[in-house]
Structure 1
Amino acid sequence: MDQTTTQELLGIGQDILGQIELFLIGLMREWNLYQLLILLAVFLAATLLKRLTAPPLHDWMRSRRDWPMWRMRYLVVLHKRLRAFWFVLLLWLVVWVMREATWPSRSYLLGVAANLATAWLIVVFATRLIGNPLLRSMIRWSAWIWITLRILGLTEEAVRVLDGAAVQLGDLRLSLWLVVRAVFWLGVLLFVAQFLARSSASRIRANEDISPSMQVLAVKVLQIVFFTVAFLIGLRVIGVDLTGFAVLSGAIGVGLGFGLQKVVSNLVSGVILLLDKSIKPGDVISLGETFGWITTLGARYVSITTRDGKEYLIPNEDLITGQVVNWSHKDRFVRLDIYFGTSYGDNPHDVRRIAIEATSAVPRVLADRPPVCHIVGFGDSSVDYILRFWITDPTGGLTNIRGNVYLALWDAFQANGISIPFPQREVKVLDGSTLGVARPSRADRPVSGD
């Protein structure tokens, strides 16, 4: 800042100090002291009313658990700001009575205090809609400060002070006033964009005619559009020239092409996955040794939750280039095969009938698609069979249902006298050979007295 700007700031500061001095002198007048005492009395009354009404309100809130979440959040804010609520209500009542009974000047301070308290309370409730805590705090404090200056009549002086504190960066003049406006307007516009994105996402997810993958794609596209438009409008509102962004966007494109190839590849792969509907949230897939169901389709990765509770973040590019088994691509019917063998002495017709009956009695095995059993070969020591059955809940696990079917076969075969052979070996002693019996060595012989 140059010397002229510094002198101007000092002059503005002296004006503000002069107004503060006049305000403090005015407080020493008789009626102004009375108004301060009335303010103190209203504050004490509001504190007492808070203690009396807070417990019943809390109990009433606990009985309304079936209410929507947004409504409960406002009730929580009201419960936390109950003293401020009673303070505003009682203060406006006092101001109305005094303006009806006395001169308006004798309730001037009370009116200013009532306006300030009301504005602060409205800002608290209005900003509660903002989900991001940092963004909510920024907008809340900016609105509080601006409203306070507006009510006290100090906006022009504050703007001159903030605009005077500036630095020159080439053709760009960066001042504190520009920064404050940017923070406020960008915060408001981003909040509006977030609100519109959430509302649109709720409507899209509630539409059953749109597939889950297209729902995710539509939500992502709307989020990008809303936030991009909000950012550009915010820059225009605060007076930033957007023509320079054309060169910047070209530089960013070159950087993306060379340094962020994997990131861009995953983003493009994610869009392709959403468009071709090859996978969607809720599908059960296998990728290598990973078996689980899809919980989230992200811009960069797909979240897969396995039955042991682990969550794998698979890059989108791997799902495009790798071999993926989608167990529920078009429907949730899944056929499982297990193999077993029985002795040659058992009747194959009985074996097939018993195997089908035992498998049909296992939970999760579909009855409308009954199991089938076929002979697939004659082995060295057994007749080999394949048993096929259907399930509709692959998310319930595949290993456990196979194990239950094997247990059912074991019990059924034991009950019906069907044997499951295992390899056996015969040892023949040729004529003229002798069998020697190994005698224990002295070290292996038992010692007397042991």
Structure 2
Amino acid sequence: MDIEKYLQLDYWKASATALQQWFLRDVWVVETLLELVVILLCIALGGLVARPFKPRLARLVEQRNWLTSTIGRFLAALQQVLAFALSVMLLALAMVIFQRFELSSRIVNTAMSLLSAWVIIRLVTSILREPAWRRYIALFTWTLAALHILDLLHAFLGLLDSLAVTLGGVRISILLIIKAVIFLTILLRLSLGASSLLEKRIRNMEGLTPSIQVLLSKALKITLLAVAVIVTLSSLGINLSAFAFFGGAIGVGVGFGLQKVVSNLVSGVILLLDRSIKPGDVIEVGSTYGRIESLGARYVSVATRDNTEYLIPNEDLITTQVINWSFSDKLVRLKVEVGVSYNSDIHQVMRLMVAAAAGIPRVLSNPKPLCQLKNFGDSSIDMELRLWISDPENGVSNVSSDVRIAVWDAFKANGIEIPFPQRDLHIKSGFREPPKA
């Protein structure tokens, strides 16, 4: 088919004339109008008969709690196409009557076939969970079925194939693009499903570290997606070498517009290989403190105790200082500094502080808490309490707060004073004016 003829006015004039003649010859006649009236009556009657049954189906789904189940989706689809299903039965009865009186029933048969195809396709696609996919697949499949029923499928495919351009020696038509989208969508869905199953298997392998598990999962996912794209192009008869000229453009795009994206991808691979951080680690980056939830291709998800999730780019974890509180193990030492009065018994102060720390549930008894005298300050004797915890993912500052409260209570009970800075102000009097010259 030649696309240039569709751009000529004479072609459309001839088509309009032929359409007018067809309408007067085949449509505007008694037999055709009778069939059209019967079709409209059957559809209207089917809607009226189906009306009282729809609420019953809806109540049945709600009472049995089938809203998210396969049978619930099937009944919901049946509720939507029930009127069409009844119309198909009425059209079948009308065809029997037409044949009885030897009347033409070609249009009635076509209408019945179209409605039957829609009812069957709608019920079959109801097994899919995603509503968007159900609608798209049902509409696409019914369109193909309708074109086949109307004997227009071959001509329609030829028209789509004629709308084409040639790029780099590759002929790209609308039909080729549609096929590529369908094949690629199916293969991508299969690839993602396979990668999810393999990822679950990898996570159950106890001999692999979390970083290696994430690395293998990401590598398998990328590999399966790449295979899906290559298989799609090859199945459509596209020579992959024909896309070589796109390499330079892609390189320029990466060099200018995708620097950060590529940098984050490479940084993510480095983080997985050197195992500096892994899911479950407690890290501190700048003012962000939290537990690593997941390692992504572009970012790391860090969940804080405020129920806030920070998405930190992988590049930042490579180029900036990161405090990993659980890199080698989760044993963490905390320091709590307290100042006491010079009138205090230092030995008693040290015993009270150690006992206060030992009474906190999260403070470990081995290694046991230790108190030291750090300095003789201007207003106080500076003491430092050192203690250990093994669960930094549950927070660090809250433990320090609990220890300070326990120390405060112990000091209050034993008369230990926590001093604060004081200044004495001396005002000199007897100001005399300078002698006059």
SS of the residue corresponding to residue 264 of structure 2 reads helix
After alignment, is 78-87 or 346-355 more displaced? 78-87
TM-score for both structures, normalised by structure 2:
0.77
Equivalent pair of 2:92/2:112 in contact (CA under 8 Å): no
1:217 corresponds to which residue?
Answer: 215
| In 2: Cα distance, 1:240 partner to 1:349 partner | 85
SS of the residue corresponding to residue 272 of structure 2 reads helix
1:2 corresponds to which residue?
Answer: 4
Tell me how many residue pairs correspond in the alignment: 422
CA distance 1:393–1:253, shift in 2 (3 Å): same
- The alpha-carbon deviation at position 413 of structure 1 amounts to 0.8
After alignment, is 318-327 or 302-311 more displaced? 302-311
Which residues of 2 match residues 366-385 of structure 1 at below 5 A? 366-367=364-365, 369-379=367-377, 382-385=380-383
2:60 corresponds to which residue?
Answer: 56
| In 2: Cα distance, 1:316 partner to 1:141 partner | 42
1:380-433 per-position Cα deviation (integer Å, ceiling 9, x unaligned):
6544432122233434432232122112111101101222344566899xxxxx
2:119 corresponds to which residue?
Answer: 118
1:148 aligns with 2:126: no
Which residues of 2 match residues 73-88 of structure 1 at below 5 A? 74=70, 77-78=73-74, 80-84=76-80, 86-87=82-83
Say which of 260, 264, 267 aligns to 1:266.
Answer: 264
- The alpha-carbon deviation at position 233 of structure 1 amounts to 2.3
Which residues of 2 match residues 10-409 of structure 1 at below 5 A? 28=32, 37-61=41-65, 72=68, 74=70, 77-78=73-74, 80-84=76-80, 86-87=82-83, 108=109, 112-113=113-114, 115-122=116-123, 124-125=125-126, 128-129=128-129, 133=132, 139-167=137-165, 171-205=169-203, 210-249=208-247, 251-253=249-251, 255-257=253-255, 260-308=258-306, 311-367=309-365, 369-379=367-377, 382-409=380-407
| In 1: Cα distance, 2:4 partner to 2:98 partner | 52
- The alpha-carbon deviation at position 351 of structure 1 amounts to 2.0
CA distance 1:119–1:11, shift in 2 (3 Å): farther
CA distance 1:155–1:23, shift in 2 (3 Å): farther
Over the matched positions of the two proteins, sequence identity in percent amounts to 38
Equivalent pair of 1:301/1:316 in contact (CA under 8 Å): yes
TM-score for both structures, normalised by structure 1:
0.75
CA distance 1:426–1:252, shift in 2 (3 Å): closer
CA distance 1:209–1:90, shift in 2 (3 Å): farther
Equivalent pair of 1:283/1:329 in contact (CA under 8 Å): yes
Which structure 1 segments of 5+ residues have no match? 65-70, 429-433, 439-450
Equivalent pair of 2:77/2:126 in contact (CA under 8 Å): no
Equivalent pair of 1:115/1:151 in contact (CA under 8 Å): no
SS of the residue corresponding to residue 301 of structure 2 reads strand
| In 2: Cα distance, 1:329 partner to 1:413 partner | 36
CA distance 1:51–1:312, shift in 2 (3 Å): closer
Amino acid at match of 1:142: F
